[in-house]
């Protein structure tokens, strides 16, 4: 049995009443492991057909599944390297699942690392609109970038900035904003016992100040009629109901919305707020003794009414577009490579910075001075009159979109060899005359590029992503 701080136990007794004993018992139960299907690459139905290990549906997440993390390691399977799923604690899947993303939305994930929410938001946009994924920590943002590229997402900017700085660049810009706020982590005590020590160092009062700053900054970046989802993985009223209460006081144009329900969800607790606002019942609390997951809090809010200008070109924005009316001239080596892709690329959206070539989302404001890790889809690099495609582009491509493909079955030992960065003999798959850049796939899903010559594939799989034997 875990030793919980006395202060925390007393607070939970007051919060749960007669349910406290049931809550305490859950600390003796095993944790739950989950994976979420990347619907940008594969349908849930098709994934179930090819999944190589036993999974059970998570009942409140349409693309989520439980697996036995004590017996299997999904991160050591080629399908993971193909970006077909993300490993995520089941209750943590809820925020990105419950914010109503629509095609063409401009979406902000404020505290996005390591990418569990951002990858789902990006997949639900289905290659439309734009996702801004931000995390203050540059090191954590690097992990975020990898997960976004692994998922094959293209209409994404990965930033590492203070949320307050972004207000100046994105005033009333976003249709949807998700804040999975830094918190005291009480809901994760059962999953990660180290969180208890962290709680003792920085408790709810410390995080409540940070959360109120972030949520009010985010409110200024949301359009009229837009929706904001706030979530934490803690039980503390100061960080949950009282933070929402603070937002409503500062921005009275916000209203709490109903969240798509599930029988295991608990209503927010008005008496846990300072004003007893009954609308707080529309927020959601997830308790581990009521659901097969950990602890979470979710609040969905709407900002006023719809305004009169469109998503495509917001009033007063400076759009990164070629305005001279002339056809944009691209390097010949880039043009030749793009001919191999069965997809239309708008030349005005291609941005060349030094050697790097990016495909930018539409409708962005000027972002001079913002700290980027990635802006748009990195197509590749221009090097001495040749173009080298990127790992990000490989993951963004579907098998049928590229001219030259080497599709290996998951049981082919060359799949693991490729993921380890080894050279491949593919004489059984190509002619002696075949050469150039090939997209390597496993069972039809992209893994990366290789360069073919004389029936030998020179491996171009990104070194930092390679399969580790241990």
Catalytic residue among 233, 257, 308, 441: 233
**What is the crossing angle of helices 138-150 and 116-125, to 10°?**
40
Rounded to whole angstroms, the Cα distance separating 11 from 347 reads: 58
113: left (phi over 0), alpha (psi -120 to 50) or beta: beta
107-136 burial: b if 16+ Cβ within 10 Å, else e: bbbbbbbbbbbbbbbbbbbeeebbbbbbbb
Question: Would you say 19 and 289 are in contact if contact means Cβ atoms under 8 Å apart?
Answer: yes
* Kind plus residue range of the DSSP H or E element containing 24: helix 20-25
Cα-to-chain-centroid distance, residue 318: 27
- The sign of the dihedral angle between the CA atoms of 441, 442, 446, 450 is negative
Bridge partners of residue 106, in order along the sequence: 130
Residue 223 phi/psi, 5-degree rounding, is -65, 155
Question: Would you say 144 and 113 are in contact if contact means Cβ atoms under 8 Å apart?
Answer: yes
Identify whether 233 is a catalytic site residue.
yes
Catalytic residues: 233
């Amino acid at each position: 049995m875990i030793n919980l701080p006395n202060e925390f136990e007393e607070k939970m007794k007051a919060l749960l009443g007669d349910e406290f004993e049931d809550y305490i018992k859950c600390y003796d139960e095993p944790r739950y492991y989950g994976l979420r299907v990347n619907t940008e690459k594969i349908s849930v139905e098709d994934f179930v057909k090819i999944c190589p290990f036993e999974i059970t549906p998570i009942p409140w997440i349409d693309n989520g599944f439980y697996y036995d993390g004590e017996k299997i390691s999904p991160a050591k399977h080629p399908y993971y390297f193909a970006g077909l799923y993300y490993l995520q604690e089941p209750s943590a899947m809820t925020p990105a699942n419950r914010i109503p993303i629509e095609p063409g939305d401009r979406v902000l994930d404020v505290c996005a690392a390591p990418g569990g929410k951002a990858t789902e938001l990006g997949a639900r946009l289905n290659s439309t609109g734009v996702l801004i994924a931000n995390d203050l920590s540059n090191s954590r943002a690097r992990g975020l970038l990898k997960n976004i590229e692994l998922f094959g997402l293209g209409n994404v900017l990965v930033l590492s900035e203070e949320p307050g700085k972004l207000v100046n660049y994105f005033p009333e810009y976003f249709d949807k904003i998700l804040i999975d706020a830094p918190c005291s982590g009480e809901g994760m005590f059962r999953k990660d016992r180290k969180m208890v020590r962290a709680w003792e160092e920085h408790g709810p009062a410390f995080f409540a100040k940070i959360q109120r700053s972030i949520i009010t900054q985010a409110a200024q970046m949301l359009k009229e009629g837009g929706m904001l989802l706030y979530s934490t993985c803690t039980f503390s009223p100061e960080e949950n109901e009282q933070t929402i209460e603070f937002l409503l006081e500062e921005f009275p144009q916000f209203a709490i919305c109903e969240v798509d329900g599930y029988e295991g969800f608990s209503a927010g607790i008005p008496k846990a707020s300072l004003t007893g606002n009954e609308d707080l019942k529309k927020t959601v609390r997830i308790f581990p003794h009521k659901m097969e997951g950990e602890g979470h809090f979710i609040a969905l809010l709407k900002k006023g009414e719809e305004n009169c200008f469109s998503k495509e070109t917001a009033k007063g924005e400076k759009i990164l577009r070629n305005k001279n009316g002339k056809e944009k001239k691209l390097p010949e080596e880039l043009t030749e490579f793009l001919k191999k892709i069965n997809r239309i690329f708008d030349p005005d959206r291609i941005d060349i910075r030094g050697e790097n070539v990016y495909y930018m989302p539409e409708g962005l404001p000027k972002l001079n001075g913002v700290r980027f890790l990635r802006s748009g889809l990195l197509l590749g690099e221009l090097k001495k009159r040749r173009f080298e495609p990127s790992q990000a582009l490989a993951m963004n491509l579907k098998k049928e979109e590229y001219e030259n493909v080497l599709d290996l079955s998951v049981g082919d030992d060359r799949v693991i060899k490729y993921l380890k960065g080894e050279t491949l003999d593919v004489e059984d798959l190509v002619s002696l005359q075949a050469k150039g850049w090939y997209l390597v796939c496993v069972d039809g899903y992209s893994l990366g590029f290789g360069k073919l010559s004389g029936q030998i594939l020179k491996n171009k799989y990104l070194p930092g992503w390679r399969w580790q034997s241990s």
